[in-house]
Structure 1
């Protein structure tokens, strides 16, 4: 599966992702999984409306009626798909920079399409295998009202609203000008919280910060937490299927730590949790304490969701899954990443203790994340060959589930090719910050040398 990568199609808008391409994707989706109706939503990116129009035209051309949902978070699109039993196309590039856009595909059950379906769609695209309708059998399109409101109500009703409201929490929120700006402020106010915001106006150019909720983009949120004496800071990515947190002191909480504390509340000896090969030792520790099982997959929500589906079909309990990037799933609620719901579950934990105390329970690990960019196939091949040689020469225990992960007992390091950008990503974790930096720096130095020679 080349086109859809680890989390859908992504690319620079009007260069690698174009209206003509989106038209063909719409035709392929309608041909393979469309049925009579398909929903189309988008995030707040400047090119979202243009690409949504192209997808709608493609769907209509193969005979599908289209429900246009407008701008809203990806989990809101998934809720609509599930309730209406229709597949959906979401126009989003999630956490990628403003110049990017892309496509995620959702089944009529509200869950991202499995790999097998995505491969069928890719085949239709490759072969121009579109079931074009006669001129008098093309589809119609209609705009759907109230979709955002339905999503807000769903999240609020799914958690203990009274308990959260009684705690009188103050939430500092940074939706980063993305789709979460249209729904999350209302969700947290409906939960009885006082809400202060930054970057909370939907804006297609993302003037306040880039969509990715990483520490270097979230300085304003940390300052807002401190200035407002808030109990927690919450940040979303561009389509609001992820949530990242700051504690009551205005300090960034590693996404791995948040995932671990949320998992700790629901795992038991009969349960399994699923995460990517990037899974933190924090999650390993939580699973071990609960006598639960941890399964690792390649990176990306598509891979994690597919594995959860397989496990549930075997009758196994999977109460929580996800990644340390803020993308957490609670399958008993919905098999979908949902930033606002994840944040609401975290608010339930804050009723009893402050955030800093909660995350202290999952250990003091240090993480390093970095990337090495490449510009050509030759550079890509040089980088991947260097990673392979580095892994083969290392004394660490090797895991090749996705890239090369080396486990040293006290620490681990992973290098893998991104599924959404022309970069090789490096991850490292250790109890000591210096150890994590050394592991990442050694690998980055080797890769930079390979680029110089490529």
Structure 2
């Protein structure tokens, strides 16, 4: 069973993430490529450090080879944004990355990219699913990997230097060099070490690295940079007197940040900091784009700048599309993914890390102090987050309640409107909001609430949870 969610196809290894399904997906994409008349172009393929990722990449290229479609294989564990960069650089129509990003270790998956190095739209993934439905098992053929290499149908490439240089060429290296910052990097047993460490060392930072060995179990923790998974990084930043701690998720497209005091900087605040820095210090102008579960501080800031902040559904493909449509300056999400105009059209934790080091070097003040200044100017915004794993039956019951009966609780706060753009989002007249939505990558229900204070946000979130019997 192959279904694409907000971040590609993801499944538990041995259940739906199998050789048979990956070969099925590969042939479906081959047929779509032919239908679009793109069979003369190579397909870029990469993989991360997850269990079976490297082997799965070979299963896929062997199906393409059997169908006479050339592939360019990045044959080492690489960041997802590097593969997106290569799709953009080679000006090809399709690319694939074998990863399940920040999901638990028992998952793996496939991300599909299209022209410009962007996440495939729902239209594209719907077309792939439609092709899958028409394929019979005897249709699938595979060529031996060594033969595919000999025939020139698979070419092994290494675009790492060009990707690194593309970031070095757009950051203010001289300002970083003057600061001699001490940075502690946590790749979370993922794939960002070589690229991000090389960039920061080139800028004369002192960089130490933790959790960098190859561990397909990710040290027994979720490879997602959040407040609960970065406690060790926080402790080490304080103990070692580092200026900054940077973490990236399993495939390095998301970022987490720890300031010099050991404080976790929420991804919402990372977005706010960068939008402020790019606009006020670098003089870059433009709108912002965020998803439905991301801070409205961006809206307040954009309004002050004379710009607009656009709201889109969850899934970075929606952010990329809206940024392209509006020529927005920055786009991001509350889970740590972001990009900036002029870079790839997808999220990039490596580029974000380099840009944050530049920001710290230029502003010269602790991040917490900069954030206090921002909130004094644009208002106070505090977020509460809640996750709950769902059975299929419970999920359907709640979907019926929220999206068919369209019931919401009495919050004790005046409601402005309710939106069903993605999930059920209630906007309050005081500027706060709460959203309940189902994850597109895991069997999880999520509730996000943003109010003027943490206490208010927790209170509203609790009302929603009680209403849903969670």
> Match for 2:39 among 24, 35, 39?
35
Is 1:3–2:19 an aligned residue pair?
Answer: no
Which one is further off, 214-223 or 278-287?
Answer: 278-287
Q: Evaluate the alpha carbon distance shift between residue 253 and residue 126 of structure 1 in structure 2; reply closer, same or farther with a 3 A threshold.
A: same
Alignment of 1:13-32 (within 5 A): 13-32=13-32
Is 1:242–2:254 an aligned residue pair?
Answer: yes
Give the Å deviation of 1:132: 7.2
Residue aligned with 1:207, SS: helix
> Match for 1:346 among 356, 366, 370?
356
Give the Å deviation of 1:269: 11
1:452 counterpart residue number = none
TM-score, normalised via structure 2 length = 0.88
Alpha-carbon separation, structure 1, partners of 2:292 and 2:333: 9
Residue aligned with 1:444, SS: helix
Residue aligned with 2:289, SS: strand
Q: Evaluate the alpha carbon distance shift between residue 132 and residue 209 of structure 1 in structure 2; reply closer, same or farther with a 3 A threshold.
A: closer
1:158 counterpart residue number = 170
Give the Å deviation of 1:29: 1.6
Unaligned ranges ≥5, structure 1:
450-454
1:374 counterpart residue number = 390
1:113 counterpart residue number = 120
Is 1:173–2:185 an aligned residue pair?
Answer: yes
Alpha-carbon separation, structure 1, partners of 2:367 and 2:155: 41
Residue aligned with 1:361, SS: helix
Asked whether the equivalents of residues 177 and 238 of structure 1 are also in contact (C-alpha less than 8 Å), the reply is yes
Alpha-carbon separation, structure 2, partners of 1:307 and 1:29: 25
Residue aligned with 2:323, SS: helix
Give the Å deviation of 1:143: 5.1
Asked whether the equivalents of residues 174 and 235 of structure 1 are also in contact (C-alpha less than 8 Å), the reply is yes
2:54 counterpart residue number = 49
CA deviations on 1:275-298 (whole Å, 9 max, x unpaired) are 101121221221121121111111
Asked whether the equivalents of residues 196 and 228 of structure 1 are also in contact (C-alpha less than 8 Å), the reply is no
Is 1:444–2:450 an aligned residue pair?
Answer: no
Is 1:96–2:114 an aligned residue pair?
Answer: no
CA deviations on 1:162-214 (whole Å, 9 max, x unpaired) are 21111111111111011113422222212221112221223222116321111
Asked whether the equivalents of residues 264 and 287 of structure 1 are also in contact (C-alpha less than 8 Å), the reply is no
Is 1:359–2:371 an aligned residue pair?
Answer: yes
1:76 counterpart residue number = 82
Which one is further off, 356-365 or 402-411?
Answer: 356-365
Give the Å deviation of 1:117: 2.0
1:433 counterpart residue number = 454
Asked whether the equivalents of residues 196 and 354 of structure 2 are also in contact (C-alpha less than 8 Å), the reply is no
Alpha-carbon separation, structure 2, partners of 1:45 and 1:134: 23
Residue aligned with 1:359, SS: helix
Residue aligned with 2:228, SS: helix
Unaligned ranges ≥5, structure 2:
none
CA deviations on 1:339-372 (whole Å, 9 max, x unpaired) are 1111111111111222222222332432221112
TM-score, normalised via structure 1 length = 0.91
Residue aligned with 1:407, SS: strand
Q: Evaluate the alpha carbon distance shift between residue 406 and residue 108 of structure 1 in structure 2; reply closer, same or farther with a 3 A threshold.
A: closer
Q: Evaluate the alpha carbon distance shift between residue 342 and residue 135 of structure 1 in structure 2; reply closer, same or farther with a 3 A threshold.
A: closer
Is 1:418–2:439 an aligned residue pair?
Answer: yes
> Match for 1:332 among 339, 342, 357?
342
Asked whether the equivalents of residues 63 and 143 of structure 2 are also in contact (C-alpha less than 8 Å), the reply is no
Which one is further off, 135-144 or 247-256?
Answer: 135-144
Residue aligned with 2:165, SS: helix
Is 1:198–2:187 an aligned residue pair?
Answer: no
Alpha-carbon separation, structure 2, partners of 1:149 and 1:414: 42
Alpha-carbon separation, structure 2, partners of 1:48 and 1:276: 29
2:309 counterpart residue number = 294
Count of residues in correspondence between the two structures: 442
Give the Å deviation of 1:399: 1.9
Residue aligned with 2:71, SS: strand
Q: Evaluate the alpha carbon distance shift between residue 81 and residue 158 of structure 1 in structure 2; reply closer, same or farther with a 3 A threshold.
A: same
